[in-house]
Amino acid sequence: MTAKPLLIHITGARPNFPKAAPVIAAMEHHPVRQMLVHTGQHYDARMSEVFFAQLGLPEPDVNLGVGSGSHATQTAAIMVGLEELFAREHPDLVVVYGDVNSTVAAALVAAKMGIPVAHVEAGLRSFDMTMPEEINRLLTDRLSNLLLVTSVDAIAHLGREGADAAAIHFVGNPMIDTLLQHVDSLDSESVAGQVGVDCSQPYVVGTLHRPGNVDDVTNVRELVRAVHSVADQVRFVIPLHPRGRARLEDAGFMNHHNVTVVDPLGYVEFLALVRGAAAVVTDSGGVQEETTVLGVPCLTLRPNTERPVTITHGTNQLVTRQSLPSVLAEVLATGRQATWPVPPLWDGEAGPRIADVLARHLGVVS
């Protein structure tokens, strides 16, 4: 009897897990073997382990445990570990997610070993080469055999870059599958109470960790001034990412009575907090997508976004540190909209669509 083809999913950081969960679940309906690898790029339990429990992900078959380090150190450690794994397991297809170091490391190793690669969330572009994620996106797409895209603009980007049209598949956004599966269980009032926020009063949720906001001392000072101006208007609650926390603390980030800093939250708890917010201030990519579906005004503190569909078909807008307080004031005065556009195929069925593409590539039928 011919063995079932082996598909290996590569995850490593918090944004990967809600993208991978629907794909892994949908692939259970096809005659393939699946292996889940966690590289350990995010190794704190609050940044990874809690996601496996809440999203129903199986325990990883392999955890490389690479931990933190410079981009080169981390990427190299992942590559060494994956090369050994792929040589031992001989996968028929490697599936990578998003734009983190684990993503590009897996694509490089698989491509050099002649193993086909499928990239979930292909084609997103910020056109900002100072972002490590943009470099990861470009390299991963160039090395991938299957380009699974979440939005129409991504198709155009890949076409301009010369990607084979037959490799591009518009499948929708699996992260939204995960969100929609949990949306009815998001208890904003309960989670707000747990973090010391009065849910009967407006509050704003923040997520800030990008180098452009938290690495440079001058930028950090500007950020603190902007957030304090926001906190003059409304309660500002932020689950603070380990990255940049010390710089923010040194700059007096917490020295405002209306700023509430909490530790990173689990997936369900964070989205519950977001769902009840008057607005979100973020520099995260995934949060732009989640707020778009939840109908929460999102102010993205970046000069660009690789997810422009969240602006044209959602609730997102770009702001600067200087404009943030005044734009937020306008958002608070306007309030949340009763209806808003949502991008095509962000309908909770991306996982099955992706699974069908992967199964066809592997030559199996359900």
pLDDT of 42: 59
Q: Edge to edge, what strands does the sheet with 235-239 contain?
A: 259-262, 235-239, 203-207, 279-282, 298-300, 316-318
Region of residue 110 (phi > 0: left; psi between -120 and 50: alpha; otherwise: beta): alpha
Q: Please report where in the chains the tokens 């707020």 appear, as a residue.
A: 291
Q: What is the pLDDT of residues 118-142, one digit of tens each?
A: 999 999 999 999 999 999 999 999 9
* Averaged pLDDT of the chain: 94
**pLDDT(48) > 60:** no
Looking at residue 366, what is its pLDDT? 62
pLDDT in tens, 248-260: 999 999 999 999 9
> Is the pLDDT at 47 greater than 80, yes or no?
no
Cα first-last separation, the chain: 17
Judged against a pLDDT cut of 70, whether residue 347 lies above it is answered with yes
Q: Which CATH class is domain 187-334?
A: alpha beta
Placement of tokens 């990008």 in the chain: 210
What pLDDT digit, counting tens, does each position of 83-115 carry? Answer: 999 999 999 999 999 999 999 999 999 999 999
**What angle is formed at CA 308 by the lines to CA 306 and CA 313, rounded to 5 degrees?**
145
Q: Catalytic pick from 29, 42, 182, 209?
A: 209
**Domain assignments of the chain as residue spans, ordered by start:** 6-173+346-362, 187-334
Question: Distance between CA atoms of 142 and 304, rounded to whole angstroms?
Answer: 22
pLDDT tens readout for residues 164-174: 999 999 999 99
Name beta bridge partners: 203: 235
Question: pLDDT for 19-42, tens place per residue?
Answer: 999 999 999 999 999 999 999 865
Got the DSSP string for 212-276? HHHTSHHHHHHHHHHHHHHHTTSEEEEE--STTHHHHHHTTTT-STTEEEEPPPPHHHHHHHHHT
Tell me: pLDDT of 288 over 60: yes
CATH architecture label of 6-173+346-362: 3-Layer(aba) Sandwich (3.40)
Measure the CA–CA gap between 165 and 365, rounded to whole angstroms. 23
pLDDT at 68: 76
**pLDDT tens-digit profile of 203-245?**
999 999 888 899 899 999 999 999 999 999 999 999 987 767 8
Residue 52, pLDDT score? 73
pLDDT band, residue 183 (cuts 50/70/90): very high
Q: What does the block give as tokens for 205?
A: 């949720």
Residue range 264-276: average pLDDT? Answer: 94
Q: Is the per-residue pLDDT at 53 higher than 80?
A: no
To the query of whether residue 119 is one of the catalytic residues in this protein, the response is: no
Average pLDDT over residues 279-288: 96
CA R_g for the chain: 20
Residue 45 has pLDDT above 70, yes or no: no
Q: Is the fold of 6-173+346-362 the same as that of 187-334?
A: yes
Whole-prediction pTM value? 0.94
Angle at 335 (CA atoms; ends 333, 340), nearest 5 degrees: 140
Confidence of residue 69 (pLDDT cuts 50, 70, 90): confident
- Integer Cα distance of 271 and 54 in angstroms: 12
Lowest mean pLDDT among 49-53, 163-167, 269-273: 49-53
Q: Determine the 3-state secondary structure of 151 from DSSP.
A: coil
